[in-house]
C-alpha cells in the first residue's frame, strides 16, 4: 500500500505553505477539488472468522486519496481536516455509496454460488458529523435500495465520539438502522473514554477491540484486558472483532481466547477492490 511519501501526514502540506491556518485552508480547497475530480478510492481489508473455518466474512472499506501529485494519501492525513470543514459529510456519502456499489457488484458475481446469509459484508466507517445528519438513516436506506445490497451485508462503524456528542440521538439512529437488519459496530473500543454506559444504552452488534491492545499482547495486562472485553461482549451478546493482528502468535492467542473475528496485516492488508475481492473463493460455496 502506497504511503504519503514518508512524511508524517500534514507536514507534507505545511512544508509548501509554512503556516498552520493557511495550510488548513489549502488542504480544504484541495479536498473540494478532490471531491469534484473524484480523487478518492476505497481499499478493502478482509475480516475473517477466527474459528476453524477461517472464513473470509467481509471487508472494511478504507478511504485513500489518490492525489494527482502526491500519490496515495492515508486517511489519517486528511480525515481530520475533512471533519473540521464539514466536507466529511460529502466524502462519507461517497464512501457509503461507493462501498455498497462495489459490494453489489461482488454479490452479483456470487449470486448462484452463495446463499444470502453467506454473502460477504462491507463495513463502512461513519464520522460523527455524518452519522448525526438529520437525514442520515433515510440516506442509508436509500443507498441500500438503490444499490440492492441486502441490509445484513452492510455494517456501519462508529466511534464513541458520536455518543459523546449526542448519545440519545445516537441511540435513535442506531435503532432505526438496525430495525432493517444493518449491523452496527463500536470501533476502536478500549481507547478514549469507553464509557460502559454506551454499551448499556446503545444497541451495537459488534465491538472492535482497538489494535493498541492487540499490538501489546505480549504484556499479560493487555491479554487480561482483551479477555475482559471479550467476557463483557459475550455477556452482552455482542460480536467481537480484533483489529490489527500483525503476527501469527497474536492470531493464535486470539483464537485460543475464542475471539470471533479478526482483521490485520497478518491476515490481509487493505487492497484495491479487484485484489481484495479476488480473495473470495468463487467456486466453492462456503
Q: Is 264 in the site for ligand C2E (CB under 6 A)?
A: yes
How is residue 277 written as a grid cell?
A: 475481492
Q: Is 62 in the site for ligand C2E (CB under 6 A)?
A: yes
Using the rule CB under 6 A, give the single segment among 8-16, 222-230, 263-271, 275-283 that binds ligand C2E: 263-271
Residues sharing a CB contact under 8 Å with residue 115, sequence separation 6 or more, in sequence order: 285
Residues composing the chain: 286
Pairing of strands 183-189, 154-158: parallel
Residue 164 to residue 46: CA distance in whole angstroms: 29
Residue 232 has φ and ψ, to the nearest 5°, of -60, -50
CA neighbor of 263 nearest in space, from 62, 107, 114, 41: 62
- Of the pair 23, 77, the CB lying nearest ligand C2E is at 77
Find the binding residues for ligand C2E in span 146-165 (CB under 6 A).
157
SS3 for 75? helix
- Of the pair 190, 264, the CB lying nearest ligand C2E is at 264
**In the complex, minimum distance from the CB of residue 258 to Mg ion, in angstroms, rounded to a whole number:** 21
Residue 118 CA: distances (Å) to CA of 55, 109, 110, 121, 144: 10, 13, 10, 9, 18
Q: Is 160 in the site for Mg ion (CB under 5 A)?
A: no
Using the rule CB under 5 A, give the single segment among 101-109, 110-118, 183-191, 222-230 that binds Mg ion: 183-191
With contacts defined by CB under 6 A, how many residues of the chain interact with ligand C2E?
24
Binding residues for Mg ion, rule: CB under 5 A, are: 74, 125, 157, 187-188, 243
Binding residues for ligand C2E, rule: CB under 6 A, are: 45, 62-63, 74-76, 79, 88, 92, 95, 125, 127, 157, 187-188, 211, 243-246, 263-265, 270
Amino acid at each position: 500500500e502506497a504511503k504519503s511519501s514518508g512524511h508524517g501526514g500534514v507536514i507534507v502540506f505545511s512544508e509548501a505553505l509554512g503556516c498552520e491556518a493557511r495550510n488548513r485552508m489549502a488542504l480544504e480547497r484541495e479536498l473540494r477539488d478532490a471531491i469534484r475530480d473524484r480523487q478518492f478510492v476505497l481499499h478493502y481489508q478482509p475480516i475473517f472468522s477466527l474459528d476453524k473455518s477461517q472464513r473470509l466474512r467481509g471487508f472494511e472499506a478504507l478511504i485513500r486519496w489518490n492525489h494527482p501529485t502526491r500519490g496515495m494519501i492515508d486517511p489519517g492525513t486528511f480525515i481530520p481536516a475533512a471533519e473540521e470543514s464539514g466536507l466529511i459529510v460529502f466524502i462519507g456519502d461517497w464512501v457509503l455509496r461507493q462501498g455498497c456499489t462495489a459490494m453489489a457488484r461482488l454479490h452479483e458475481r456470487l449470486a448462484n454460488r452463495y446463499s444470502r446469509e453467506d454473502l460477504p459484508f462491507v463495513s463502512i466507517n461513519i464520522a460523527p458529523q455524518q452519522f448525526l445528519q438529520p437525514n442520515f438513516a433515510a440516506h442509508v436506506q436509500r443507498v441500500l435500495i438503490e444499490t440492492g445490497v441486502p441490509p445484513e451485508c452492510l455494517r456501519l462503524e462508529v466511534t464513541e465520539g458520536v455518543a459523546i456528542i449526542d448519545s440519545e440521538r445516537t441511540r435513535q439512529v442506531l435503532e432505526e438502522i438496525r430495525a432493517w437488519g444493518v449491523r452496527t459496530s463500536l470501533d476502536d473500543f478500549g481507547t478514549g473514554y469507553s464509557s460502559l454506559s454506551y454499551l448499556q444504552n446503545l444497541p451495537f452488534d459488534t465491538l472492535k477491540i482497538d489494535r493498541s491492545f492487540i499490538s501489546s499482547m505480549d504484556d499479560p495486562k493487555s491479554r487480561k484486558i482483551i479477555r475482559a472485553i471479550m467476557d463483557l461482549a459475550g455477556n452482552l451478546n455482542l460480536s467481537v472483532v480484533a483489529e490489527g493482528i500483525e503476527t501469527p502468535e497474536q492470531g493464535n492467542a486470539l483464537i485460543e481466547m475464542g475471539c470471533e473475528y479478526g482483521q490485520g496485516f497478518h491476515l490481509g492488508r487493505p487492497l484495491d477492490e479487484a485484489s481484495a475481492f479476488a480473495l473470495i473463493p468463487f467456486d466453492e460455496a462456503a
